[in-house]
Structure formats: C-alpha cells, structure tokens
Amino acid sequence: MKVAPRLAVHHSSQPAHTVARRWSSRSRESIVIAAMMLALVAVFLLSLAISSVWVPLDQVVAVLTGMDTEQSSAHVLIREVRLPRSLTALLAGAALGIAGLQMQTLFRNPLADPYALGIASGASLGVALVLLTSGAVVSNVFASSLGLAGDAAVTAASIAGAALAISVVLGLSNRVENPATVLILGLMFGYAAQAFVTVLVAGTDPDKLQRWVAWGFGSFSGVQWGKMTLFAPLVLIGLGISALTTKQLNALLLGEKYASSMGLNVRRMRVLTMAGASILGGVVTAFCGPIAFLGIAIPHMCRGLLGTSDHRSLVPATILMGGIVALTAQIISLLPGNSGVFPLNAVTSLIGAPVVVIVLMRNRRGAFTA
Amino acid sequence: MLRSLVFIATALLVSVGCAGPGKAPDTSRKGCIESFDSSKDYFPEKTKPEFAENFSLEYHNSYKVVTVRRPADVGMEEKYVLLQCGAPRPELPAVLSRAPVITVPITSLFSASSTHMPLLVDLGHVEVLTGVAQARYITTEPILDWIRQGHVTEYAANDVIDTETVILKAPAIVMSSGGFPEAYNTLQKAGIAVVTNVEWQERSALARAEWLKFMAVFLNEEGKANGQFNAIRDRYMALKDRVIKLPEKARPRVMTGTVYRGTFDISGGASYVARLIADAGGVYVWAENKASGGTSVDIESQIARAADADIWINGGDWTSLKDMLAEEPRYRHFKSFQQGNVWLYNRIVHENGGYDYWSRGITRPDLILGDLIKIFHPELARDHEFVWYKQVPRE
C-alpha cells in the first residue's frame, strides 16, 4: 500500500487512530493547504497594493498587467520596489520556515530553528567585520578584492560567515553520534562568534553602529532585481532539497536508529538536511538580515493547523505559511502613512508569537509530535 | 628588603598623587582675583545666545550660571556655576545647590566629541585640552598636533569611559555630548564637573555655531566669541539675502540621504540641514517632516517624494555615480541622479578618513551656505569658491 510510511509516522504519535480517521485527516490537510494557497495569493496581491505610499488600485492593476506607461512613478514603485520586496518576503518566509522544520525534525527538538547551528552568528560576524571595522583594514580589503561595494560586500561577508559556521559545525558533526551534541556545537560556535562581534561593536563609532543596528532589524526591501537573480535560485535549491527528502524526514522523526533500520543512510541524510537548512538560513540572513521568529514558529503553526507531522504535507504547508506570515509582517511594517520604518523583526515576533501560542493551546496534543 | 620596597612604592604613589593637576585653586593664574571686591563686575565681557535654543547664560559679579535646557532627549535641564578664579564661593540659591561649581577660566578639559575641537581652535585655547574620548575621530589639524606632542590622554578608547584615568587626571571639566552613561555619575561623585554640549540638537547651522559662545564662557573668552560669531552671522545673513527674493519656481527641489536595505537615511525636516537648504534658496522635499536630526523613510516614500528632485546633497561615501548604482540600482529612478546633480561634502578628507566638513564646518555655517548657494544658484555665488562640496563624478 502506498501510504505505508505515512501510517508508520502516524502510528508513532497517534497510535489510537483508526484508518477512517486518517482519511478524514488527509482531507483536512488538503483543505488547509488549499486555503493556504488562496491566502498566499491574496496576501501577495495585497502587499503589492498596500504600502507606505498610496497608489490607486486601478494604477496597481495597470502596472501589473503591463497596461501603464513606462515612466510613471507608480510603475517604478510597484515594479522596482514592491514586486521584488514581496517576492523576497515570500521566498524568505518559505526558506526560514523550511529550514526551521528541517532542524526541528533532524534534532527532534521543538526549539530548534534555522539559526541553531550558529548560522546567524556566523553571518553577523561576517557583517560586523565589514560594517564595523574602521578604515582600510578588513572591510575594504575584503570588498575591493571581490570588486564589491556597499551592501554587496555585506551580503558576501554574511554568506562567508554563514558558510564558515556551517563548515565548522558540519565538519565536527561527522565525528559525533548524538545529534544533540551537534546542536550544542552549533550553540558554542554561536557564542564564540558573538564574542568577536561584541569586541567589534565595543570599539565602533556611532555612524557605523547605526548601520549595524539597522542590519539587525531585518528587511525584505534590500533585494532588488539584480540581487534576486542570486537570491531566488539559492532559496529554490534549498527548498528543493526539502521537497525531495520528505520521506527521509518522516523516517528521522522516529529516531536515527529506527530510521537506519528502515534502510536510511542517516549520516548522509543528516549532512544533506543540515546543508539544505544552512543554505536557506544563511542566504536569507545574508540578504535580509537575521529575521527572527519565522523559522521556529512557522512549522509549529503548520503542525497545529494540519494536525500532522507528516512532512509530505508539512513541507508544502510550511512553504505557503512562511510566505503568508512574512508578507503579512511586511505589510504591517509599512502600513500606509507610515513612511518611517517599523523594524521588520519587531513585527514578525509581536504578531507571530501570539499566533503560535493560540495554535499550541488549541491543539492539545501539542504541536510537536515526534 | 620588602619593607624598603613598600616604602619606595608608597613614596612614589604619594608623589604622583601630589603632582596631579588641578587640585588646589591656583590663584597665581592669569586673570585670577587677588583681592576680592564683591561690588566689582569680574566679567566685563558678556555674551548671549541669539539663535541657540538649548543653552542660556546669566551673569553675576563673580560667577556666571550656564543652563543647558535639554542635555538629552529626556532628562531635566542642567545648571553649572562658573566661579571666577580666586573669588570666594558665593551664597547660591537653592536651585543651584546641586550645580557643580567650576573655576574659570578652566585650565584643563576632557572632551567627549570631535565637534568640540574647532571651538577650542577658533577661541585660541588648544592648550586647555588634556583629554579626549577617542583620538581617532579627530580631524582638526591644530588639535592633532597637540595630541602628537603628547599633551592629551585618551579616556574612552573603546567607547567605555575609563573612570579611573579621568579621576586620576582630574580635569576641570569633562565636556560630554549628551546622554548619561553611568560613568558620568561616578565622575560627578568624585568631584569632577561633567558639562553637556549638545550643539547637535540645535535646528540651524547658525545656532550650532553659536555653541562657540558656550565654550567661551568656560574660558572667559566671551569678547572673542562675540566678535567671531557676529562676523559669521553677518556673512551668513548676507549670503541668505542673495536668494531671499527668488520666486518659488526658481528654487530647486533638494533631496538628501543614502539607502540601506530599502531604507533611506535622510535629514529630518526640522534639522539644520533642512534649514540650510531653505536658506540657500532650495526647497527640501521633506520640509514638513518633524524630525530635528536624521530620520529614516522607506525607499518607496523617498521615490514618491524625491524622484523629481533637482539636486541631491549629503549621501554616502560615493566616489562616482557608477559606484552609487553598484550600491543600489534603484538610485537610477531619481532625476537628480540621472542628471548627475549629486553633491557630497567630501572635497577635503583628512588622512584618517574624517571629513573636514565635520570639524571646521561646525563653526563656519557661512561657508556651508556659500557652497550650497553655489550648487543651487551658481550665478548668485560667482565670488564663492567651493570649500567642502564636490559634485560626484560619473565614473
């Protein structure tokens, strides 16, 4: 029977369920995912229509359908600012949600998130080196050696920092058996990187510090079309890995020993999953800054709404939900009339945290059923 | 043996302690009162802020009272009593009971900000500077010479005030630039007067420059400050008069700022930059914005507001328009960028990377205004040579 692995998964968490109940939960999953698709399309369009500057709806439609004149300011606002920003939010939300899901499953820990392996700390170390070191030292040498200016250097440094974190932790993880140990290694790498960042922050003048603080706020607005050509493919690669390994992730839910008895090459799966999650977390951090909360919250929301831990439903749901929540946060951070800037990270956490609490409380089984 | 070592060490410590400057009132100083006459006005030269809103002065025979209204964004006003050296401590009213009493003219000064340096240079008192928070941000040449000669202690090299060093060196005052790190409380408890210089909160360049008078009251140099400031004011007003009658349509629309990750850092509509733009015969695109310092707007609002601005001033560390595009391709949607009308104040950059604009510019708003008029209305400033502003080249 085709649903065999799926039955096994459910078995572990909900042994009392009947076959009939499983079928009904399957249809529930389909309905929830369909609703999410509609919601995502709606939020995406809303994010193109509503922002700090008011553009009449008919002009929005005209621009989107290509019926407008090239040089109108609505054209620039929607094509050059809103469209890339909304796409970035969608991809970043999906990426962080999936990376969080992978980490939570891999480590069988509901508190794991995309940054669990020290990716954000590694990235922030790279960014701090570029933004905070004074004058011609590291930053300029780094930037000029790559032929990069300004924010491009920040992005590159962030990727380099995240890559360093990944390679250190992946390298060490091959020597340890227990996944919890890997988690602690990541945590320790994070502390070490943060220590360097603190030293850099301590000796910095206020102007540079302001940039640093702004980076920490997180933003989907920095990815313009030029950067999108790098950002989107990298995120899609990461998402692809997760989509192709749903069965293996399901097996991991049962524990590494059980998974390997089912014929899964656990060690390879571990490296693949960590690499995938690291690409997702690292790329988003590089382009958007350390976006808080989405990575840990989205998978919990989806488990709660779907009532399952089956990755064949969770992965698509997480991608959709990540996009919905990120786009909503983006809309709220730039509501009409608010030309000033409300930090994205504040919105994601303030809006998202109560939602997760509600989902968890309504779902008495607990949202993490490993 | 041990005992003699302890003795030598103690003797050294005691002698170092005695050598610390600024401890006992030194009545031998030039201008100090030798025989006090309570009816005599010891401050014949007085000054009064004309544009600055954030400090005020009050003169008595042997002392003056300085009030800083807003030493920080929050917090109460601060008052300092400046007592002529050699005068007996006066009976002070209750409102001044907690004000530090500072003997003037001061002979030593620790300064928290590089913006205080031009004030000392203009008043001819570089020699009072004995400490700076961080030497690496200073770009004022005479001060750098003074530092190179070893007269200056750095007391917050890593942003953290080294209270022990400050207490040991015991300067007459520590001039902060606002905010209240805990360290300042400690210093005040140790009897060191902390004075707040918040020229950056003023809303016009003239008012900022007027903090020259603030520095002058501590040095008893009111006469010099008045003369210098009046000359600057007169030049500023004369320049402003050249553009005052221009009709609205002859005034270029001006934008400021630089983008970072989709957020534009711009000058607020109530800032001194906005005021300079207006005084130079320009129209600031964010004129009705309320921020008195810098502020942030999202790129979308900036495009909606400034896409058709004629001139762009005060951006990032750009060396060319090409460089700008590499940083943010969406700059190309601004008319000022398309026409190459982007101007930065980087004509003179100090070898440590600091901009001369940020030191000399503090006390020379007339020169800044001259530069801006030359950018906005070249025909009205033919006699003016650019001091700080430079057009960003294409390549």
B2 — pLDDT class (breaks 50, 70, 90):
low
* Residue appearing with tokens 């060690």: A267
| Weakest-pLDDT range from A47-61, A133-147, B111-125, B358-372 | A133-147
Give the closest residue to A298 by CA, choosing from A327, A275, A270: A327
Per DSSP, B331 falls in state: G
Write out residues 151-180 of B within 8 Å (CB-CB) of A.
Answer: 157-160
The residues with which B349 forms a beta bridge, in sequence order, are B355
pLDDT, average across residues A254-259: 81
The minimum CA-CA distance between B250 and chain A, rounded to whole Å, is 24
What's at B54, amino acid-wise? N
Residue A49 in this model has a pLDDT that exceeds 60: yes
pLDDT, average across residues A74-91: 91
Interface probe, candidates A209, A213, A339, chain B, greatest B C-beta count within 10 A: A339
pLDDT at A23: 54
Residue A186 lies in a domain: yes
Task: Quick: pLDDT tens for A190-200.
Answer: 888 889 888 88
The minimum CA-CA distance between A59 and chain B, rounded to whole Å, is 14
Of A73, A150, A221, the CB nearest to B263: A221
Measured between its terminal Cα atoms, the distance across chain B in Å is: 74
Range of A100's domain?
Answer: 85-365
Cα separation, B286 vs B277, in Å, equals 11
Q: Which CATH number do you get for residue A325?
A: 1.10.3470.10
pLDDT, average across residues B47-61: 94
**Chain A nearest-CA residue for B354:** A135
The minimum CA-CA distance between A339 and chain B, rounded to whole Å, is 5
Task: Quick: pLDDT tens for A267-310.
Answer: 888 888 888 888 888 889 888 988 878 898 899 889 888 888 89
Give the closest residue to A235 by CA, choosing from A285, A272, A290: A285
CB count within 10 Å of CB A72 equals 14
Task: Quick: pLDDT tens for B229-278.
Answer: 999 999 999 999 999 999 999 999 999 999 888 888 899 999 999 999 99
Write out residues 243-302 of B within 8 Å (CB-CB) of A.
Answer: 260-263, 265, 295-301
What's at A235, amino acid-wise? V
pLDDT at A18: 45
Residue A270 lies in a domain: yes
Going by their DSSP bridges, the two strands B342-344 and B258-260 should be labelled as unpaired
Measured between its terminal Cα atoms, the distance across chain A in Å is: 23
Residue A218 lies in a domain: yes
Residue A75 lies in a domain: no
Interface check for A67 against chain B (CB to CB < 8 A): the answer is no
Q: What angle do CA A314, A320, A322 make, to 5 degrees?
A: 95
**Chain B nearest-CA residue for A334:** B298
* Residue appearing with tokens 């001039």: B175
Give the closest residue to B241 by CA, choosing from B337, B122, B77, B369: B369
H-state helical runs in B125-181: 141-148, 163-169
Give the closest residue to B132 by CA, choosing from B113, B107, B158: B113
Structural domains of chain B, ranges and CATH numbers in brackets: 2-230 (3.40.50.1980), 244-391 (3.40.50.1980)
The residues with which B153 forms a beta bridge, in sequence order, are B131
The residues with which B265 forms a beta bridge, in sequence order, are B258, B296
Q: Contact A52/B301, CB-based, under 8 Å?
A: yes
pLDDT at A140: 42
In which order are the strands placed within the sheet that holds B342-344? B283-284, B253-256, B311-313, B342-344, B390-391
Q: What's the whole-model pTM score?
A: 0.79
Q: Which of A363-367, B19-23, B286-290 has the highest mean pLDDT?
A: B286-290
Residue B1 in this model has a pLDDT that exceeds 80: no
Interface check for B137 against chain A (CB to CB < 8 A): the answer is yes
* Number of domains composing chain A: 1
- Tell whether ipTM is more than 0.90: no
pLDDT at B8: 54
Task: Quick: pLDDT tens for A165-174.
Answer: 878 887 887 7
* Contact (CB, 8 A) for B359 and B199: no
Q: Which of B180-189, B311-320, B344-353 has the highest mean pLDDT?
A: B311-320
Per DSSP, B89 falls in state: P
Interface check for B307 against chain A (CB to CB < 8 A): the answer is yes
Residue A97 lies in a domain: yes
Q: Where are the beta strands (DSSP E) in chain A?
A: none
CB count within 10 Å of CB B163 equals 20
Assigned token pair, B293: 């310092």
Residue A164 lies in a domain: yes
A206 — pLDDT class (breaks 50, 70, 90):
low
Cβ neighbours of A73 in B, within 8 Å: 303-304, 307
pLDDT at B291: 85
